[in-house]
Amino acid sequence: MQLTPKRQKRKNIFFWGFLLFLGFGLLLASHFNLLNKPKNIFFLIISPVSRAFSSAGAKTANLFHFFINLKKITQDNQWLRSENLQLISQTAKLNDLIRENEFLRQALDAEQSSGQKMIFAKIISRYDLLGQQAFTIDKGLKNGVNKGQAVVLAPNILIGQVVESLDNFASVRPVTNSNSQIQVVVNGKQIPGIIKGQENNILVMEMVPQDKELSVGDLLVSSPTDQLVGDLLVGKVEQVFKNDLGVFQQALVKPLATSSGINSVIVVASANP
């Protein structure tokens, strides 16, 4: 039923009058501390709910901060990992530079002491053709590299021979290649022989006269030929095989160095003018 304007006006006056009375009453009650007990009861009632919401809010905030911190830690770890990789890379480059400088110094010392021209070269590739290992260096005919020249590690350890030389590159056959044959002598004894390459980085010394005294630990050096310079260290005798019925004896030889794991070599060219 719709109220008439007069009744509606009365109702509004009553409502606002009641609110004023209630407000005035609450003020008086608060002034005379009459609301303390009701307030205390009210807080007792709502405190469990309030604590639950407060605890949940704190847990939510803690969880929120946890995920923020976790994201920050992850980002920091990624940054540290990146910095660590950069540091490792820089250290590796520095170590390579130090090794290269030391190698060049040794090459210069060897050139001055031997009177031979030393050509510094880097290994740019390795390959295995029909079981025969070889590698390519970044120096060739234009640099004075020719077929048959010795390839060494400083100061004078033979690791191979140039088998082909192009204008800017050359192919090198390691002494451990089964097609490699090098004339050698036993250092200090002048016992001649021929070193042949074998599998698994092993050398065999052949054509050693049976009446010569070959011993374990003997050092072998290259014999000078038209292409290969002499007195380059090749290997050390590990085991001697004698055959009373044969003319020659053999020896198992361990190379003093191989091309495995190295990046730089020296080509021993003709004597300096």
Q: Which CATH number do you get for residue 262?
A: 2.40.10.340
Q: Is there a contact between 240 and 251 (Cβ–Cβ < 8 Å)? A: yes
C-alpha to C-alpha distance for 54 and 19, rounded to whole angstroms: 33
Q: Is the pTM of this model over 0.75?
A: no
Regarding whether 98 and 24 lie in a shared domain, the answer is yes
Regarding whether 99 and 123 lie in a shared domain, the answer is no
C-alpha to C-alpha distance for 101 and 112, rounded to whole angstroms: 17
C-alpha to C-alpha distance for 152 and 222, rounded to whole angstroms: 12
C-alpha to C-alpha distance for 233 and 226, rounded to whole angstroms: 18
DSSP tag of 271: E
C-alpha to C-alpha distance for 179 and 131, rounded to whole angstroms: 10
Residue 42: the pLDDT is 52
The residue out of 114, 149, 167 marking a domain boundary is 114
Q: Which of 165, 169, 57 is nearest to 122 (CA)?
A: 169
C-alpha to C-alpha distance for 133 and 126, rounded to whole angstroms: 8
Domain range for 37 is: 7-114
Residue 241 counted as domain residue? yes
Residue 218: the pLDDT is 94
Regarding whether 103 and 132 lie in a shared domain, the answer is no
DSSP tag of 141: G
First to last CA, the chain: 130
Regarding whether 175 and 224 lie in a shared domain, the answer is yes
Residue 12: the pLDDT is 66
The residue out of 61, 79, 114 marking a domain boundary is 114
Residue 53: the pLDDT is 47
Task: Report the domain count for the chain.
Answer: 2
Regarding whether 101 and 175 lie in a shared domain, the answer is no
Residue 273: the pLDDT is 40
The residue out of 85, 114, 143 marking a domain boundary is 114
Regarding whether 86 and 145 lie in a shared domain, the answer is no
Regarding whether 146 and 40 lie in a shared domain, the answer is no
Regarding whether 208 and 233 lie in a shared domain, the answer is yes
Regarding whether 206 and 254 lie in a shared domain, the answer is yes
Cα atoms found within 13 Å of the Cα of residue 168, Cβ hemisphere only: 1
Q: Which of 179, 162, 113, 175 is nearest to 269 (CA)?
A: 162
- CA distances, 83 to each of 92, 216, 245 (Å): 14, 51, 68
Tracing tokens 């050139």 back to the chain, one arrives at 111
Torsional sign, CA 226, 229, 235, 239: positive
Phi, psi of 142 (to 5 degrees): -65, -20
C-alpha to C-alpha distance for 107 and 128, rounded to whole angstroms: 28
pLDDT in tens, 46-82: 545 445 544 554 455 555 565 566 666 776 677 666 6
Q: Is 244 helix (H, G, I), strand (E, B) or coil?
A: coil
Q: Which residues of the chain have pLDDT under 70?
A: 1-72, 75-76, 79-115, 129-131, 270-273
What is the enclosing helix (H) or strand (E) of 77? helix 36-114
Residue 1 counted as domain residue? no
Regarding whether 134 and 77 lie in a shared domain, the answer is no
